[in-house]
Structure 1
Amino acid sequence: MSPIAKFVFCLTLLAAWRLSSTLFAEAPPAPGVDSASRNASCLALAREAGIRSEGGTGRNFVISPLSIHAALAKVAAGARGDTLSELLRFLGSASLNELHRAAATKLVGRLNGIGQTSFTSGVWVDRMLALKPEFMAIVASRYNATAESVDFVSGAEQARQRVNAFVADATNKQILEVLPPGSVGPGTAVVLANALYFKGAWTQPFDVSTAPFHIPGGTTVRVPSMTTSEPQHIAVYPGFRALKLPYKNDVQQQAEFYMLILLPDSETEIADLYDKAVSMREFIKTHTPTENVPVRQFMVPKFKFTSEFEVSSDMRKLGITRAFEGGDFSGMMTGGEGLSINGVYHKATIEVDEVGTVAAAATAVLWFGSAAPGAPQDLVDFVADRPFLFAVVEEGTDAVLFLGHVANPLTH
């Protein structure tokens, strides 16, 4: 295939995973990787995009670090040489074999058996081309993918619409378009699309009342908010306080999801919390409250919004360059040497109300050619009346499904 051929790789998913096949167990290790850094790069990418989005504008923001991680794990499965080594360093793994054994892989394998989630995937390949059997074996065995031959040369727009329809159906219409107009053309070779959907109900529904919320710039708005007088999982740390909101989990399922809300004090900025989440090992795990404490005042605003952006510049800033400048993707198909990624698009949506959370995310990769908590008082306040950080996490694997911040709950 010509180096100027265009390859579109689209993934739509909520949780991140790593490949677990040993087909490429002999791939050379990536130097300078330590196991504690796993997932850190994708959190760093989330930080870059989040701070850029916030930028004093008061915009809400949501990203799925693990959706991006999953996209790059599949990219790594088809990469070779220096391109592979660079991707492995970013993903925090010394080798593909280590990447394949990640705990998140097992979580993804269980997603269709969990009440809150669903997972599906598909592969659309140009009728004149074929993926390598080894690569297709990974996609089929680890992602339950079905393959379909399409005509990108004369029917690129129809193929784009088919992929988007597949994604929309798999996410219950939460993500209607992952491939933007013009992203698929006559040079497109393959589209891989994975879709993952999350819908979780709180263990205890909340009451709703209207409360003030202080948005950036000094304006105060009144917003529908969740309230309760029941004890909650709250911990107080220097500069912020944390709230854990568990979702209902089926007795037989092997995953436990929760939302973590980090509310900065007056002297702490949202950017400071992003920095902590990236720079401190296991920050989210070690700052998730474990003690159920009685509350005095409790308020968390309802919110619903969607974020979409292009993150290739952030990825370059964090060290991925070869994949954008003539990479080696010969593990994916014959003639894959010299292909370059020319765009990484991400879209995520989330809705939080008194009943629970609905969320989904999409990532599209386009190829061309710890501190200890302070002791809480007998009665603890948690009044989220100002911008805050949030994350949706799976407790067993510490996988961060979503990360973002709310600046104005009224802005969709």
Structure 2
Amino acid sequence: MEFPIQAETSSFNTYFCLLLANNILQAKGVENGSNTVISPFSFHLLLSLIAVGSKGRTLEQLFHCLGSKSLEDINSLASQMVDLASPFNKSNGVSIGEPDLSFVNAAWVAQSLKLKPSFQEIVEGVYHAIAKEADFANKAEQVVAEVNAWAETATRGLIRNLLTAEALKRYLYRSFNRYKILKLPYKTSQPTRKFAMHFFLPDAKDGLKNLLQMFKSNPEYFNKRFDLVNEKIFDFWVPRFKFEFEFEASEAMIKMGLDLPFNRSKAEITEMVDSVTEPLFVRKMFHKCLIEVNEEGTEAAASTAVIIEQQQQSVYPNPSFVADHPFMFMIKEETSGVVFFVGAVLNPSLDS
């Protein structure tokens, strides 16, 4: 299926999901001095799944957050997003130079509740996700172990193959007011898919907070098609880094106005199961990402940083892009505008 080209902004990345991503980068990352990575893409799909199981005011609130007017729109959009990511969710990996990205979403429902066949069909058929019953009441520890094992297997443990020699030959660069952007396009076997990793480097050593504030004031800036060029720069320096980040998202979403799905007495999540004695609501929403970036695109990392050279020149005699202080990164599909990952690196030597 050919992926549609979006206009100025991408409907695949809603204002809500991008603002959520930025809020988390600031609150959980910069304020705590932590490396951070999250996926607006995954949040969009997960909120869409909740919408499929909702009705009434809860559904209307989710429509507003997702920028949709009907479940048909939500499911159609989700199907295209899943199709975009599907080439990378393969057990045998991808070719050298391609981004190795893994995405998994799931709904775990108490065993006492019986999923509606219509809901399970949409979850598995449209979202390529899983909906499983679990005995939370009597086998909580076993369920936790099962969920963790499933996630590790489904994602193959890593998000990797980001910086490669092939990508470095096709970099794009531009210096703007107070920050620089370096874009590394990936080689892909899919002609309709154009993935790239962007590095946003503030000019000031302590400029990351101000850079994130700029994105917060206009989250759709993530969707901007930056006017970058294949400008000649000398050797540049970026650190290798590997870290994981996890958090529980309900509190952040409630603060941003998406409260009904998490409200025990007001949530109208009635379309997931056949019958309930008490209303359903979303108790917790867990999100976890892991990313590794190095010069080989492999898991091995012997040191905390690496010099990346362009065409065998000497080590940055006059560098134009030296990421020796906190910066932001983004992994994006250029044709659609979908932002898959956004993160901030404050200390690349922290390996969590």
Q: Aligned residue pairs: how many? A: 312
Kept in 2: contact 1:64–1:401 (CA 8 A): yes
Kept in 1: contact 2:233–2:320 (CA 8 A): yes
1:347/1:322 CA distance change after superposition, 3 Å: same
Shift of 1:349: 1.2
Match of 2:304 in 1: none
SS at 1:154 equivalent: coil
Match of 1:330 in 2: 270
Match of 2:254 in 1: 316
Q: Letter of the 2:234 partner, please give it.
A: R
Shift of 1:233: 0.6
Shift of 1:239: 1.6
Match of 2:321 in 1: 382
Match of 1:106 in 2: 80
Kept in 1: contact 2:163–2:296 (CA 8 A): yes
Shift of 1:150: 4.8
Match of 2:67 in 1: 92
1:83/1:123 CA distance change after superposition, 3 Å: closer
Match of 1:273 in 2: 211
CA RMSD of aligned residues (A): 3.0
Kept in 1: contact 2:179–2:201 (CA 8 A): yes
Shift of 1:339: 2.3
Counterpart CA distance in 2 for 1:154 and 1:81 is 33
Q: Letter of the 1:391 partner, please give it.
A: M
Shift of 1:128: 4.0
Match of 2:312 in 1: none
Residues 1:166 and 2:150 aligned together: yes
1:231/1:398 CA distance change after superposition, 3 Å: closer
Shift of 1:125: 5.1
- The structure with the largest strand share of the pair is 1
Provide the identity percentage. Answer: 35
SS at 1:44 equivalent: helix
Counterpart CA distance in 1 for 2:253 and 2:103 is 26
1:49/1:201 CA distance change after superposition, 3 Å: closer
Shift of 1:289: 5.0
Kept in 2: contact 1:393–1:400 (CA 8 A): yes
Residues 1:204 and 2:165 aligned together: yes
Residues 1:286 and 2:224 aligned together: yes
SS at 1:382 equivalent: coil
**Structure 1 alignment gaps of length 5 or more:** 1-33, 175-197, 207-227, 359-378
Kept in 2: contact 1:324–1:342 (CA 8 A): yes
TM superposition score normalised by structure 2: 0.78
Match of 2:181 in 1: 242
1:125/1:321 CA distance change after superposition, 3 Å: closer
Kept in 2: contact 1:62–1:348 (CA 8 A): yes
SS at 2:349 equivalent: coil
SS at 1:299 equivalent: strand
Q: Letter of the 1:277 partner, please give it.
A: F
SS at 2:173 equivalent: strand
Counterpart CA distance in 2 for 1:261 and 1:290 is 12
Counterpart CA distance in 1 for 2:115 and 2:194 is 36
Q: Letter of the 1:134 partner, please give it.
A: S
Shift of 1:52: 1.0
**Structure 2 alignment gaps of length 5 or more:** 1-8, 89-93, 95-99, 300-317
Q: Letter of the 2:286 partner, please give it.
A: Y
Counterpart CA distance in 2 for 1:105 and 1:279 is 30
Kept in 2: contact 1:243–1:289 (CA 8 A): no
Kept in 1: contact 2:52–2:271 (CA 8 A): yes
Kept in 1: contact 2:102–2:156 (CA 8 A): no
Kept in 2: contact 1:242–1:263 (CA 8 A): yes
Kept in 2: contact 1:242–1:287 (CA 8 A): no
Which has the higher mean CA deviation after the structures are superposed, 108-117 or 159-168? 108-117
Q: Letter of the 1:170 partner, please give it.
A: A
Counterpart CA distance in 2 for 1:61 and 1:123 is 24
Which has the higher mean CA deviation after the structures are superposed, 49-58 or 116-125? 116-125
Match of 1:213 in 2: none
TM superposition score normalised by structure 1: 0.67
1:19-38 aligned at under 5 Å gives the runs: 38=13
1:77-133 CA-to-partner distances (Å, cap 9, x unmatched) read: 10111111112212222332222232x631412533343345666665555431112
1:342-381 aligned at under 5 Å gives the runs: 342-356=283-297, 381=320
SS at 2:258 equivalent: coil
SS at 1:328 equivalent: coil
Counterpart CA distance in 2 for 1:234 and 1:318 is 34
1:145-188 CA-to-partner distances (Å, cap 9, x unmatched) read: 566555444333223322221111111134xxxxxxxxxxxxxx
Kept in 2: contact 1:35–1:93 (CA 8 A): no
Kept in 1: contact 2:15–2:220 (CA 8 A): no
Kept in 2: contact 1:388–1:406 (CA 8 A): yes
